Amino acid sequence: MGLTIAQKIIKNHIISGEMVQGADIGLRIDQTLTQDATGTMAYLEFEAMGVPRVKTERSVAYIDHNTLQSGFENADDHRFIQSVAKKHGIYYSRPGNGICHQVHLERFGIPGKTLIGSDSHTPTGGGIGMLAMGAGGLDVAVAMGGGAYYITMPKMVRVNLTGRLSPWVAAKDIILAVLRVLTVKGGVGKIIEYAGEGVKTLSVPERATITNMGAELGATTSIFPSDEITREFLKAQGRESDWTELLSDADAQYDEVVEINLSELEPLAAAPHSPDNIKTIKELSGKKIDQVLIGSCTNSSYLDLMRVAAILKGKTVHPDVSLGIAPGSKQVYNMLAENGALADIIAAGARILECACGPCIGMGQSPNSGGISLRTFNRNFEGRSGTADGQVYLVSPETAAVSALAGVFTDARTLGEAVSIDLPKQFLINDNMVVPPVPEEEMDSVEILRGPNIKPFPSSEPLPESISASALLKVGDNITTDHIMPAGAKILPYRSNIPYLSKFCFAVCDEAFPERCREYKKGIVVGGSNYGQGSSREHAALVPLYLGIKAVIVKSFARIHMANLVNAGILPLTFENDADYDALDQMDVLTIPNVRELAGVGKLIVINETKGTEFTVNCDISERQREIILAGGLLDYTRENSK
């Protein structure tokens, strides 16, 4: 039986376990990336492991999230990350060089290699045929130290693309169409592989848009073939030697096949407040808008912004609309400046933002109260924009640009003949904003620079014989990591300060939760299905750990967050019967006896002391994860096993 693209890469990198669906497998990791919102904690964890030098082929630290300097905190974190990178063998991408996923695709990604990053949109690398996965910072630290990255062997889903996109229909509309079919939890435990004749019609930037937003499916990752189109892209980046052909076998077997006819697609939008709440632009046509933002790791490529510039050229942004545009990398920014496209964008009235994540992570450009904001981003969770009642729609750059001119939702197909933008035969290559590490023999001379905002990793303890605590919070379905640990300009600067962050834990759901945790000292969180979807931020596990949360009981988990809970030493449990969720109330006292003996071995009984009832939960963790939980978390487990 033949292999899929992902299975071929897994086969070449597996170092423990077997390629059997549902089995726990360990993979050798070739490359890692971090960004500054998660990087400080990841490097504190790396230091705690005591490994002097990274053991990956390439590790890169990017500064792209916390670039709003409203106090010393962000600048101190950047200084710390730069000094760690310099000392321990990590390349450092300076602020202004661009968004990690865009820059990594341009300058470092290699087909057939494995990449994990402490950012959930790391699967962007699948656009050039990488097995690229988002992970918690501690998992990235372990990989940098030479350890394996563990996943459950996923199912394989083939998305078969046929036909060709119609004029003014974009790659963003493809992934929105896939989200309409599969939903935000339809990719859990799966790798999404794109195939079919339609693949040959898509450039690498378009493919990367699709794999980037595969994170919103809950998928382990998404991947495209590495073909002649990939080769031409890498050649234009001066990296043709990095190219290898990587195709699925003709007789590869898939667990599921999704058919998408590109010729039948039309411009789409993800309406508030979920990436799978799909509407057609035709349905929304004429609806007034207040703000348009173009950029993010999803849609900030040279190709995207050249199309935007062509739409804006010679026109003026509607007076009721604020238009902001953020190029994804310095390379893109420079090339737009050199060819005159940037002048066209500025002349139209756009506000040019720096090459960073910016508003996508809630770092500035919040819309007006109740305002409708069209964004080319990947997430539109409630409150993520920084405005509690902001109405965020996710659209393509083409839809965003034409709507910014009209002041209302507008179908770009009304523009008539589509503009034709070709990728350059040679991109502008200038890596002067990437700082290499010092040679190994000089590393002892490098001082690690720590600011006062950097606090130690929260301490954990081995799993006790039993857990007895109150259900300090009960929440519903599709709770995101933005609910658990919000982002935004006011909070992100404290990502290296867990005690301060704890004040905001679950504040979106219940402002009293942190104080309740402090009063009760320990507790349990209860949730619905797809708990922990969204960002890979391990702070959504580390902060509950600091607040004394011992277990989380839900209907189902998102992949990365469940792994982060295990890494933090928090027990992840799922209801065997969803009806038991309904019968449980916040503040019920729950006891889980024999938990140390039975965790990961069999089903656990939970006694509801308040109601005098009991129910059954599953603890679906691997033997390795069981050992991590028993040890009190991945850091303690790693220390114990490295003695």
- Residue-wise pLDDT for 141-169, tens only, equals 999 999 999 999 999 999 999 999 999 99
- So what's the pLDDT on residue 70? 84
CATH architecture of the domain formed by 467-641: Alpha-Beta Barrel (3.20)
Residues of the chain with CATH 3.20.19.10: 467-641
Is 119 among the residues known to form the active site?
A: yes
- Superfamily of 268-413 according to CATH: Aconitase, domain 3 (3.30.499.10)
**CA-wise closest residue to 344 among 330, 375, 323:** 323
Question: Tokens 């965790």 label which residue?
Answer: 599
Rounded Cα–Cα distance for residues 441 and 13 (Å) = 30
Identified catalytic residue from 13, 58, 65, 624: 65
Note the pTM of the prediction, 2 decimals. 0.93
pLDDT digits (tens, 9 = 90+) for 520-556: 999 999 999 999 998 878 999 999 999 999 999 999 9
The reported pLDDT for the residue numbered 569 is: 95
Report the pLDDT value the prediction gives residue 382, as an integer from 0 to 100: 87
CA distances from 483 to 216, 247, 460, 638 (A): 16, 39, 23, 30
Catalytic one of 119, 242, 344, 411: 119
Distance from C-alpha of 317 to C-alpha of 304, rounded to nearest angstrom: 18
Give the closest residue to 31 by CA, choosing from 166, 122, 120.
122
- 345-369 burial by CB neighbour count: b if 16+ within 10 A, else e? beebbbeebbbbbbbbbbbbbbbee
Give 4's Cβ-side CA count (13 Å radius).
26
CB 114 within 8 A of CB 13: yes
Under 8 Å between Cβ of 473 and 511? no
Q: Exactly one of 13, 30, 59, 64 is catalytic; which is it? A: 64
Nearest to 68 by CA among 57, 54, 78, 82: 78
Helix (H, G, I), strand (E, B) or coil at 207: helix
DSSP H or E stretch at residue 149:
strand 149-152
Please choose, from the candidates 506, 539, 508, 500, the residue with its C-alpha nearest in 3D space to the C-alpha of residue 523. 506
Domain(s) labelled CATH 3.30.499.10 in the chain stretch across 5-264, 268-413
- What is the SS3 assignment for 254? coil
Active-site option among 535, 536, 556, 622: 535
Structure tokens at 1: 């039986």
Q: Which of 101, 318, 379, 539 is catalytic?
A: 379
| pLDDT for residue 545 | 96
Which amino acid belongs to residue 90? Answer: I
Q: Which regions in the chain score pLDDT beneath 70? A: 642-643
Bridge partners for 268 per DSSP: 280
Return the pLDDT at 362.
85
- Give yes or no: 379 in active site: yes
Q: What is the mean pLDDT of the chain?
A: 95
Superfamily of segment(s) 5-264: Aconitase, domain 3 (3.30.499.10)
Question: Which pLDDT score is estimated for 635?
Answer: 87
Q: Which amino acid, residue 172? A: K
The region, left, alpha or beta by phi > 0 then psi within -120 to 50, assigned to residue 276 is alpha
> Is 318 one of the annotated active-site residues of the chain?
no
Q: Which one from 537, 539, 559, 624 is the annotated catalytic residue?
A: 537
The answer to whether residue 537 is catalytic is: yes
